[in-house]
Structure 1
Amino acid sequence: MDHPATKLLSVNLGRARAVPYTDQPEGVTGIDKRPADGPVRVGVPGAAGFGASGLAGDTVCDTRHHGGADQAVYAMAREDMDDWERELGRPLPNGAFGENLTTTGLDLSGALIGEHWRVGPRLLLEVTSGRIPCRTFQGHMGEPRWVKRFMEKGASGAYFRVLEPGEIRAGDAVRIVHRPAHEVTVALQFRAVTTQRELLPRLLAAGAALHGEALATARKYVAEYGA
């Protein structure tokens, strides 16, 4: 299920800094992430040595909407970022979307909720959801209508929870070691919670692997409107 070209191009960390465009109460954000020089420990947020992020040394400032077990790690495909580079007409270095992992050779939009990734020799991740754009992301990108444009394109990248901790670095191979028996992709989940709410009942097939907030939203929709 793996391919030698599926790997990490970089592992990116962010430090808190003050910006004028976030609604976070302290006015700081860690979205500006830069590639790490060496290995990075990845574990469960809140465990010893970890804050709200699943990466040691990475800062999550707005814990209302970011970080935590279901959003421990965020990955973005270099291929999708290259597409945005062509559309925006400017370079987007690894980490520019606030992603922890910049990957190559992997279709993140087509990843299944509950899919397992083995990254490097030990780290095991589980796909939980796509990334919902926010005001801070728009301010960081400095592009007009960015939130709407990002949602329209639908290449959201993917969030993961950490099943088995491990140490990773740029160049590590990524192996897809488990694909669940349903058809709920990251792209489907993203559309369901953003622009096509009628798709929400289909998310229930992913079960407990789904991001907890998305699962609750799907269940509420079904209770109110039926499947």
Structure 2
Amino acid sequence: MNGTVTAVSSNEAYSFTKPNRAAITLLAGLGVEGDIHAGVTVKHRSRVAQDPTQPNLRQVHLIHQELFAEVGSEGFEVTPGQLGENITTSGIDLLGLPVGALLRIGAEAVVEVTGLRNPCRQIDNFQDGLLKRVVGRDEAGNVVRKAGIMSVVLSGGPVRPGDPITVELPDGPHRPLERV
């Protein structure tokens, strides 16, 4: 399973959206260089309020470009970086990956998938009604989160639009992604 980086984004300040960049640099054990969410311990405000000593399992946020087309067909206009992701991908079923999957991005960077992004109400502040499109329920009533995945950086390096992404699945049995 292979894909492509379609956009990269980062922001040094807390904001819902992140501006697109020509490149970002991933730092092992920290996240995106210069991004407000980089660090060994949690940086998301709600997580810091609960326990600021928790490990940061949300160093790099990835979203599949295909989600933008899906919500676009329902009247929402979303472009890379607007949902706060660092890396926008194409061609990979991010939501179908198991915990521990490795994504080799570009020539050097490697991230390990930790879980699903848990979308919050800020998505409706961005575009009213969008939250219901990125969080829903399946036929069995289980919550389905579609707003991307979270990861930690194992090996740093530059990441640019157009870079290839190679997926390496962990040895089985595979654990499905849960919110982190």
TM-score interval for Structure 1 and Structure 2 normalised by the shorter chain: 0.7 to 0.9
Distance in 2 separating the partners of 1:143 and 1:59: 25
Match for residue 91 of structure 1?
Answer: 77
Aligned amino acid, residue 84 of structure 1 = V
Distance in 1 separating the partners of 2:28 and 2:58: 10
1:118-172: CA deviation from partner (whole Å, max 9, x where unpaired): 0011111111010111233332x2313x445432053231100111111111111
Which of 40, 43, 59 is equivalent to 2:36?
59
Distance in 2 separating the partners of 1:65 and 1:45: 18
Aligned amino acid, residue 95 of structure 1 = G
Structure 2 gap ranges (5+) = 38-42, 49-53, 137-143
Q: Report which of the two structures shows the higher radius of gyration computed on alpha carbons.
A: 1
Aligned amino acid, residue 92 of structure 1 = V
SS in 1 for 2:168: strand
> Would the alpha carbon gap of residues 69 and 44 (structure 1) be closer, same or farther in structure 2, given more than 3 Å must change?
farther
Identical amino acids, percent of aligned pairs:
24
Report if the CA contact (8 A) 1:42-1:56 is conserved: yes
Pairwise mapping of residues 113-128 of structure 1 onto structure 2 (< 5 A)?
113-128=99-114
Decide which moves more: 150-159 or 66-75: 66-75
Aligned residues: 163
1:67-99: CA deviation from partner (whole Å, max 9, x where unpaired): 963100000000112101111x13211112111
Q: Please give the root-mean-square deviation of Cα atoms over the aligned residues, in Å.
A: 2.3
The answer to whether 1:173 aligns with 2:146 is no
1:113 CA displacement: 0.6
Structure with more relative contact order (C-alpha pairs < 8 Å, separation 6 or more): 2
User: If the length of structure 1 is used for normalisation, what is the TM-score?
Assistant: 0.64
SS in 2 for 1:71: coil
SS in 1 for 2:112: strand
Match for residue 208 of structure 1?
Answer: none
SS in 1 for 2:66: helix
Report if the CA contact (8 A) 1:114-1:180 is conserved: no
1:43 CA displacement: 1.3
Which structure shows the higher strand fraction? Answer: 2
Aligned amino acid, residue 110 of structure 1 = G
Which of 111, 114, 127 is equivalent to 2:97?
111
User: If the length of structure 2 is used for normalisation, what is the TM-score?
Assistant: 0.79
SS in 1 for 2:19: strand
Match for residue 200 of structure 1?
Answer: none
Which structure shows the higher helix fraction? Answer: 1
Aligned amino acid, residue 42 of structure 1 = L
The answer to whether 1:134 aligns with 2:120 is yes
